[in-house]
């Protein structure tokens, strides 16, 4: 039964305006089944507009999002186990970026509006990339989830925040 629920849901980790209490949460994530505190390895930047963007290590990217949402869900289910040791940030300049793991029902309906919000177009030029990365929920628990990370072009105009959370 839990496996069926996972196939009908998608997990995304958010670190900016999609978090609870911010302007994009209600319009895009009101149907969330669960929301949990989570961390992902990366670096936070801020665009001139004040919007946060995230960079993650390329080696942490397990898969890239596609136009086929059902295929992406199947990929997430198949790769449910996170890469061991991925949260070790020593010596690499990466940080534990704080965010929320949001589980959304009906991915074919709930994910396309978020893809559009984030400027993710799997068939063209994108502001953000939707990538599957390891996400830490606690010392004992990690999962994989989709995350919107900055494209190289977007990072050119961004300034490092040096912070582990936004704002």
Q: What pLDDT is attached to residue 7?
A: 56
Tell me the CATH class for 2-160: alpha beta
Q: What are phi and psi of 134, to 5 degrees?
A: -70, 140
Considering the entire predicted model, what is its pTM?
A: 0.90
User: Low-confidence residues of the chain, pLDDT below 50?
Assistant: 1-5, 82
Give me the pLDDT at residue 89, please: 61
* Strand ranges in the chain using DSSP code E only, listed in sequence order: 9-14, 34-46, 52-55, 63-64, 95-105, 128-136, 142-150, 159-160
| pLDDT for the residue numbered 138 | 84
Summarised one tens digit per residue, pLDDT across range 66-77 is: 999 999 999 998
Q: Residue 2: its pLDDT value, please?
A: 44
Closest CA to 19 of 82, 99, 97: 99
Domain segments of the chain as ranges: 2-160
Residue 84 has what pLDDT?
53
Label the pairing between strands 9-14 and 142-150. parallel
Helices (H), 8-160: 25-29, 69-78, 107-117, 152-156
Q: What pLDDT is attached to residue 56?
A: 95
Q: What is the pLDDT of residue 1?
A: 37
pLDDT at 48: 94
């Amino acid at each position: 039964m839990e496996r069926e629920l996972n196939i009908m849901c998608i997990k995304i980790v958010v670190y900016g305006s999609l978090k609870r209490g911010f302007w994009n949460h209600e319009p895009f994530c009101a149907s969330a089944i669960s929301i949990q505190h989570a961390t992902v390895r990366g670096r936070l930047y801020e665009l001139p507009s004040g919007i946060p963007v995230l960079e993650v290590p390329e080696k942490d990217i397990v898969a890239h999002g596609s136009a086929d949402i059902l295929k992406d869900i199947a990929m997430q289910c198949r790769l449910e186990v996170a890469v061991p040791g991925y949260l070790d940030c020593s010596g690499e300049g990466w940080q534990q970026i704080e965010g929320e793991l949001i589980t959304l029902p009906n991915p074919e309906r709930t994910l396309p509006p978020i893809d559009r919000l984030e400027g993710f177009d799997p068939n063209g030029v994108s502001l953000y990339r939707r990538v599957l990365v390891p996400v830490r929920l606690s010392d004992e628990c990690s999962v994989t989830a989709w995350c919107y990370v900055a494209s190289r072009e977007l990072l050119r105009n961004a300034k490092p925040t040096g912070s582990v959370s936004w704002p």
